[in-house]
A and B are shown apart, each in its own frame.
Chain A
Amino acid sequence: GAVVSQHPSWVICKSGTSVKIECRSLDFQATTMFWYRQFPKQSLMLMATSNEGSKATYEQGVEKDKFLINHASLTLSTLTVTSAHPEDSSFYICSATSGTSGGAGYEQYFGPGTRLTVT
Chain B
Amino acid sequence: KQEVTQIPAALSVPEGENLVLNCSFTDSAIYNLQWFRQDPGKGLTSLLLIQSSQREQTSGRLNASLDKSSGRSTLYIAASQPGDSATYLCAGSYYKLSFGAGTTVTVRA
Distance of A102 Cα from B46 Cα, bound (Å): 20
Please determine whether B94 and A104 come into contact, CB atoms closer than 8 angstroms.
Answer: yes
Please determine whether B97 and A108 come into contact, CB atoms closer than 8 angstroms.
Answer: yes
- Known A-B contacts A104-B31, A104-B95, A105-B31; the reply to A93 vs B100 at CB < 8 A is no
Name B85-109 residues within 8 Å CB distance of A: 89, 93-97, 99-102
> Which of A6, A44, A49, A95 has the most chain B CB atoms closer than 10 A to its own CB?
A44
Question: Which of chain B's residues have a CB closer than 8 A to the CB of A107?
Answer: 32, 34, 46, 49
- Say which residue of A43, A105, A109, A115 sits within 8 Å of B99 (CB atoms): A43
Please determine whether B46 and A110 come into contact, CB atoms closer than 8 angstroms.
Answer: yes
Q: Which residues of A contact B (CB under 8 A)?
A: 6, 34, 42-44, 46, 49, 91, 93, 95, 102-113, 115
Top 9 closest A-B pairs, CB basis? A105-B31, A112-B43, A113-B43, A110-B44, A43-B99, A43-B101, A104-B95, A44-B99, A110-B43
